[in-house]
Amino acid sequence: MKKEIHPTYYDNVKATCSCGATFEIGSTMEEMQVEICSACHPFYTGQEKSLDTAGRVEKFKARMQKAGK
């Protein structure tokens, strides 16, 4: 590998989320700010919301339930 072309890697970088959670990661940046993390992401918290404007989700669930019988 060529020397002096790779960025400096920091092992203990403080990452701060907009929700207030902080954690340490490895990165080429000295400090990191993120908008969303596993503590506030709807997929990981189980509070996922789906936009249903025309009852599509209910129609799909009913159709899948009918197909399962």
Q: Is residue 6 part of a domain?
A: yes
What CATH number has the domain bearing residue 36? 4.10.80.400
Beta strands in 20-60 (DSSP E): 22-27, 31-34
The amino acid occupying position 15 is: A
pLDDT digits (tens, 9 = 90+) for 5-47: 999 999 999 999 988 999 999 999 999 999 988 888 877 777 7
pLDDT digits (tens, 9 = 90+) for 45-63: 777 666 666 778 888 889 9
pLDDT at res. 47? 77
- The boundaries of the domain holding residue 15 are 1-45
pLDDT at res. 26? 94
Number of domains forming the structure of the chain: 1
Q: Is residue 18 part of a domain?
A: yes
- Token pair, residue 18, equals 């907009």
